[in-house]
Amino acid sequence: MKIYISADIEGVAGVVVPAHGQPGNAEYERARRLMTEEVNAAIDGAFAGGATLVVVNDSHGPQLNLLPEALDPRAELILGRPKPYGMCAGLEAGFDAVFFTGYHAGAGQHGVLSHTINGFAFARILVNGIDCAEATLYGAYAGSLGVPVALLSGDDRLMAQCGAMFPGAQLVTVKTALGQRAARALSPERARMAIRAGAMAAVRDVGACRPAVIAAPYVLEIELTGVALADLAALIPVAERVSPKIVRFQAGAMGDVLGWINTISAMAQLLR
């Protein structure tokens, strides 16, 4: 039983403000330890449920957040960026299930630190008309490989936006959003206990999960946060300018959808 974990930070219990996700301050150092311990809980639960291999991909920001020396040594760890398929780098069709830990609601949604991929650049991302969170995009990518999402952890707004996309998955709510930068959370210990229990159940009941599917072909519409960012994205030859802030792409595979999103996200650094 092979389990793939994509780990983000904004949905971790105790994480509520941008500083928690930004390297270079004491709050970030605390948050990355909380993130690592929630991932450890998912790893431990997966092995307790019968997993034989667990691969973890650090999926937040610089993708150098998880502490390798503190990670459960039974798991393998993917660090760094850029890397193919971003938050699901290294995921292959041979995996039995995906876990998304520390995930969050999408851009423009109520939810703790809500955004999609790049809060500076993206106001909204639509795929075939579906308003996407990161869990939507990467869950559909996993589904295109035939791999179901079996566990999703984060805040209540994430579950409201994305939970129905993953039938049979364990939904572990570790905090309730009181605002974009405020939450009522479980203690870190209770959050880890809930994630461990959810991970164990997810592996044992993986047969009840079904891959999430957004049917091809794909129409990707990206609403940028500013006109200059849309100007930049529109320089891509296959981009179609829909409005001052919106560009559109056609794609035949979910991997290509992710490629365009991550390309524009990287390009946006030119205008920071």
The predicted model gives 182-195 an average pLDDT of 98
Sign of the alpha-carbon torsion through 255, 169, 36, 54: negative
Both tokens of residue 109? Answer: 């949604």
The predicted model gives 233-259 an average pLDDT of 98
The answer to whether residue 115 is catalytic is: yes
Q: Does the pTM of the predicted model rise above 0.95?
A: yes
The predicted model gives 195-223 an average pLDDT of 98
CB 166 within 8 A of CB 139: yes
Q: Domain extents for the chain?
A: 2-114+145-208
**The CATH number of domain 2-114+145-208 is 3.40.50.1980:** no
pLDDT, tens only, 76-94? 999 999 999 999 999 999 9
Alpha-carbon span 58 to 246, nearest angstrom: 29
Residue by residue, DSSP assigns 37-53 as HHHHHHHHHHHHHT-SE
Exactly one of 20, 60, 104, 115 is catalytic; name it: 115
Alpha-carbon span 30 to 24, nearest angstrom: 11
% of the chain at pLDDT higher than 90: 100
Helix (H, G, I), strand (E, B) or coil at 82: coil
Cis ω for the linkage preceding 82 (within 30 of 0): yes
Give pLDDT, residue 243.
98
